[in-house]
Amino acid sequence: MAIEDKIQRLLNKREEAKIGGGLKRIESQHAKGKLTARERLEILLDEGSFEEYDMFVSHRTKEFGLDKKQYLADGVVTGHGTIDGRIVYVYAQDFTVFGGSLSETHAHKICKIMDQAMKVGAPVIGINDSGGARIQEGVRSLAGYAEIFQRNIMASGVIPQISAIFGPCAGGAVYSPALTDFIIMSDKSSYMFVTGPKVTKTVTGEDISVEDLGGASIHGKKSGVTHFIADDENEGLMLIRKLMSYIPQNNLEEPPVTECDDPIDRKEIYLNDIVPDNPNKPYDVKDIIHGIVDYGEFLETQRNFAANIVTGFSKFDGQPVGIIANQPNFLAGVLDINSSRKAARFVRFCDAFNIPLVTLVDVPGFLPGSGQEYGGIIIHGAKLMFAYGEATVPKVTITLRKSYGGAHDVMSSKQLRGDINYAWPSAEIAVMGPAGAIEILWGRELSQIEDEKERAKFIAEKEDEYRERFANPYEAARYGYIDDVIEPRNTRFRIIRALQTLSTKKDSNPPKKHSNIPL
């Protein structure tokens, strides 16, 4: 065969691989408002940067007539490319080939790029659109999944792992994303469940739609499984590019610092008045975040899940940080099971990847009640405490208003190795709020006052006394638990200075196999 013919053969094979399961199935994918695997990678990666591996791989199954159904690439497009010039490894499942289901060879392709990403020290981004284990391959497909899971586990905390869910993901297809750092779901076209509606109905009798069982809004609000919901795939892919701008290539590198011309000493006068005089009145902590970070840009994670705590990425003078903030606008910013879980995982991601933590505190305490106690708030609250206490990255904490009880200790307090802890003049740092404290300290006296007016007067007097003593930042500052009381309008500058000071911080934990975080 002449070389021209050999090259033509190569080009023909490439064309064959590029159409996956065929034009008809591509049309049907488009008709569902979904892109193909290759189209997705084109949007995700810098133009012309994609290098594909294993385009000519096909499955080895003969059973169920599969020997006559061969598709090049076997349902997943793998390789590497760049995002803003930084290398990332990628895989994108191709729903047009056996519904993107995972065969032994499909799994080996994913494992190959994961192994190489670990050697190179680069993130892995997986775009999932799969019917799960390829049924015709039986246990070999299950083994393929387990090979991927094991690699997800080994890569955790070494290289960032990001999962996009752009279609149905059932069974094994949900567990690999669950082991990764961030999940992005496209609204109305993606689903995640361990067991689909049909099997659910058979086993439990529950009749439920795919959307209600595992749609993006369920995982965004109720379960907290997904970190981001995108209106469409394009937005989801752009979100991944944005997320990458805050995180390093691996755990041995620093996150990418960028040029910043937002003045570091920009004062925001409105911050001096943002905390209401009435301690029971809410305000939106995101108004503070937007005011202090570079250009007001904040990439919020799990926006609709446990909204009583806000987590996400921003930059201060170009330095990426993770922000954790109690949200007085939702459940008064109380710590409960879900908010503790949400924030703990976020803190641990940042710590694993050298991203400093900025914590904004306004927390009335832990949410009381049997619902929380029966659900294990003790163990879940301990997760957040553990995460902060174990973290060795720079930790800057600003107490805006309330910082009460156990929640005070948890929220990056000095004793949990908080590095620089500032408070606004509006801060109230105590074992509990005045109302609860008066009930306990003066309960006997109160029970002896029968006249309502007298009683109210007594309470008001005692509350004033208590506030004077504890509901301010100076009691904590007196002991050095607060390093300084700062004017709110100067907060951006003080945080940037603190981060600059801490940029060479070195801290470590004692040698151990691993810690035993209360899971």
- Residues within the interface to ligand HXC (CB under 6 A): 98-99, 101, 131-135, 142, 145, 168, 170-172, 175, 196
Spatial distance between the Cα atoms of 242 and 301, rounded to a whole number of angstroms: 12
What is the three-class DSSP state of 360?
Answer: strand
Rama region for 369: left / alpha / beta (φ>0; ψ in -120 to 50; rest): left
Beta pairing class for 357-363 and 319-326: parallel
3-class DSSP assignment, residue 30 = helix
Q: Strands of 364-394 (E only): list them.
A: none
Q: Are 113 and 148 in contact (CB under 8 A)?
A: no
Place of tokens 């801490």: 502
Q: Which residues contact 79 (CB under 8 A, 6 or more apart)?
A: 50, 51, 52, 53, 89, 90, 113
Alpha helices, DSSP H only, in 420-504? 434-441, 443-448, 452-470, 474-478, 491-502
Cα dihedral value 13, 17, 21, 27, nearest 10: -110
Query: CB within 8 A of 374, min separation 6: which ones?
Result: none
* Residue number, 87 or 210, with CB nearest to ligand HXC: 210
3-state helix, strand, coil in the chain (%, to 5): 45, 20, 35
Spatial contact of 446 and 394, defined as CB atoms under 8 Å apart: no
Strands 76-83 and 86-93, sheet pairing: antiparallel
Distance in angstroms (rounded) separating the CA atoms of residues 61 and 136: 8
Catalytic residue ranges: 171-172, 406-407
Q: In a 3-state reduction of DSSP, which class is residue 287?
A: helix
